[in-house]
Amino acid sequence: MSAAGTPSADPWVIVPRERLKYEEHFKSLKPNNGIITGEQAKGFFLQSSLPPLILGQIWALADTDSDGKMNIDEFSIACKLINLKLRGYEIPALLPPSLLASLKGLTPLQGGTGTPTGQIGVQGSLPPSRPEPPKVGPVLPATAPLIPGLSAHPTLNVNP
């Protein structure tokens, strides 16, 4: 197996070190019964300096059960997507299977089949030799904020 076939070579995999960091951030937002609201997440996500439209796309993917709230798995997905976008990756139209599998401690090579709750479209596996992001699908309308309270026209300038 090549180095590209290892879980850490896949940019979409959430490694344990990242998960611990995401859990710390999640706890700092003071979740109620293991859940944070869009309002709780908004300020934290805006610190990334990504445009609200991009954050809305990330929210739509990460909020796997479309309830307007996030558990730790959904928050981890959002944080991973934000970090990858900041590193130059495009936001995928569907969550990569390796990202979903990494939430369960499995990689596609280990045959993981579990996914977070909710209906999620899953794109085919990326070839191990080319861990490139999937192509971006249709862009969501700019008029519909996906994070409650977050409009497409920011009025807040947050610098990291």
User: How many angstroms separate the CA atoms of 10 and 99, rounded?
Assistant: 9
Structural domains of the chain, ranges and CATH numbers in brackets: 15-110 (1.10.238.10)
Between residues 124 and 48, the one the model is more confident about: 48
Is the whole-model pTM more than 0.85? no
Q: What is the mean pLDDT of the chain?
A: 73
pLDDT (average), residues 119-137: 40
Q: How confident is the model at residue 105, as a pLDDT?
A: 62
pLDDT at 25 over 80: yes
Kindly write down the DSSP assignment for every residue of 9-32, as one continuous string: GSTT---HHHHHHHHHHHHHT--B
Written as one letter, the residue type at 20 is: L
User: How many angstroms separate the CA atoms of 52 and 30, rounded?
Assistant: 23
Q: What is the pLDDT of residues 31-69, one digit of tens each?
A: 999 999 999 999 999 999 999 999 999 999 999 999 999
pLDDT at 11 over 50: yes
User: How many angstroms separate the CA atoms of 108 and 99, rounded?
Assistant: 9
CB 10 within 8 A of CB 98: yes
